[in-house]
Amino acid sequence: MQGSLSADTIRPIFSRLREANLAFMKAFPGEAGTRQPVHTVYGGAHLFRADTCRKLGEVGLRALREYAPDAAVFAGAIGLADSLEGMAGTIHARVQEKLAREPVEDFRIDFEDGYGNRPDAEEDGHAVSAAEEVVRGCAAGSISPFIGIRIKPFTEELRERSVRTLDLFLSALVRNGRGSLPPNFVVTLPKVTLPEQVSALADLFDALEPALRLPRESLRLEIMIETPQSIVGPQGRIPLPGFLAAARGRCVAAHFGTYDYTAGCNITAAYQSMTHPSCDFARHMMQVAFAGTGIMLSDGATNIMPVPVAVHRAWRLHADHIRHSLLHAYYQGWDLHPAQLPTRYATIYAFFLECLPAATERLRNFIAKAAQATLVGDVFDDAATGQGLLNYFLRGINCGALKEEEALATGVTLEELRGRSFVKILRNRRG
pLDDT in tens, 145-163: 999 999 999 999 999 999 9
Residues 6 or more apart whose CB falls under 8 angstroms from that of 166 comprise 149, 151, 187, 204, 208
> Between 427 and 252, where is the model more confident?
252
Mean pLDDT of 5-33: 82
- Is the pLDDT at 339 greater than 70? The verdict is yes
Q: What was the pLDDT predicted at 382?
A: 62
Residues 6 or more apart whose CB falls under 8 angstroms from that of 350 comprise 78, 80, 81, 84, 87, 91
- Is the pLDDT at 429 greater than 80? The verdict is no
Q: What was the pLDDT predicted at 371?
A: 47
- C-alpha span between 250 and 26 (Å, rounded): 14
- Is the pLDDT at 379 greater than 70? The verdict is no
Q: Please report, for the chain, the start and end positions of each structural domain, with discontinuous segments joined by +.
A: 39-353, 355-430
User: Of all residues in the chain, what percent carry a pLDDT higher than 90?
Assistant: 76
Superfamily of domain 39-353: Malate synthase, domain 3 (3.20.20.360)
pLDDT in tens, 188-238: 999 999 999 999 999 999 999 999 999 999 999 999 999 999 999 988 999
Q: In this structure, which amino acid lies at residue 5?
A: L
Mean pLDDT of 248-261: 97
- C-alpha span between 155 and 13 (Å, rounded): 47
Mean pLDDT of 242-258: 97
Which strand ranges, in their side-by-side order, compose the sheet holding 39-44? Answer: 296-298, 251-256, 221-225, 185-189, 146-150, 106-110, 39-44, 333-335
Backbone angles phi, psi at 82, to 5 degrees: -55, -35
pLDDT in tens, 69-122: 999 999 999 998 777 778 999 999 999 999 999 999 999 999 999 999 999 999
- Is the pLDDT at 51 greater than 60? The verdict is yes
Q: What was the pLDDT predicted at 32?
A: 64
- Is the pLDDT at 377 greater than 70? The verdict is no
Model-wide pTM > 0.85: yes
Q: What was the pLDDT predicted at 276?
A: 96
Q: What angle do CA 276, 278, 280 make, to 5 degrees?
A: 75
- Is the pLDDT at 64 greater than 70? The verdict is yes
Long-range contacts of 304-312 (CB under 8 A, 24+ apart): 305/336, 305/337, 305/339, 305/340, 306/63, 306/67, 306/337, 306/339, 306/340, 306/343, 307/339, 311/63, 311/67, 311/77, 311/339, 312/67, 312/77
- Is the pLDDT at 419 greater than 60? The verdict is yes
Angle between helices 341-369 and 386-399 (to 10 degrees): 140
- Is the pLDDT at 391 greater than 60? The verdict is yes
Residue 358: band (very low, low, confident or very high) from pLDDT cuts 50, 70, 90: very high
- C-alpha span between 258 and 272 (Å, rounded): 8
- C-alpha span between 58 and 253 (Å, rounded): 28
Q: What was the pLDDT predicted at 164?
A: 98
Instruction: Tell me the C-alpha to C-alpha distance, in Å, between residue 379 and each of 160, 310, 359, 372.
Output: 55, 41, 11, 14
